[in-house]
Structure 1
Amino acid sequence: MREVIKTNKAPQPIGPYSQAMKVGGFLFVSGQIGINPQTGELVPGGIEAQTKQVMENIKQILSAAGMEFDHVVKTTVFITNIDDFATVNRTCGQYFSELPPARSCVAVAILPKGALVEVEIIACR
């Protein structure tokens, strides 16, 4: 059985998708970019600020599903500049315990709304 997970504490989808879908014990969170949920705009401050906002948005979606970062088993990170890899690592790493999830990181040409980073996750209870 599938359950749509949504919260007003994270940005609303900018396309035909859900913030997250819960299937059995798994949670699939759609790619999040550094949008401030109150303004609907990308946060200023570059890659570090956007990555922090992404992770805060994911935190709110996890919370709406009754989960937290310790439940995350896989992340996929998309960045527009591979030179930002270390900054994204450092910022994302602050949200995970001593057991970080599996991860892929891909450099892409462009992201929605001109974002510098996008992260999607899979969590499991």
Structure 2
Amino acid sequence: MELPGILAEIEDVAGTDAALAIAKACGGTQVYFPPLPSNDHWLCRLIGRDPARAVCERLTCGVGPLRVDVPLGPTARAVQLRAEVDKLLGTNMSERDIARRTGYTARAVRRRRQKTGIKPDDGQLPLL
């Protein structure tokens, strides 16, 4: 399985299970990685101290903290979710509400709207 973006780097250092755990816990959000996480840091609790430290070292190069947008990662329902997003894009629902309802990020909803060209239903009837 090929993981996207930063998850592939995490997979190289800490393994597939760790990368998938991070994607499941934080996918679609921005996450803070310190150069050296403490033992009670969320990442240490999630994947273990040594893998967490290896991930942080790889991402920050031990220099300074880093904020990263974590991708959602693989999903078995990608096609159904895209169809649901496409359907909701035609309604008056906000991008934020669509993202929260479907598990997409707001950025992904905006990009999907751009790609498909679906305009929100403004309730206006055609003139002719």
| Fold similarity call, TM over 0.5 | no
Larger relative contact order, structure 1 or 2 (CA cutoff 8 Å, min sep 6): 1
**The structure with more helix, counted as a fraction of residues:** 2
TM-score w.r.t. the length of structure 1 is 0.23
TM-score normalised by the chain length of structure 2:
0.23
Structure with more strand by fraction:
1
- Give the structure with higher Rg (CA): 2
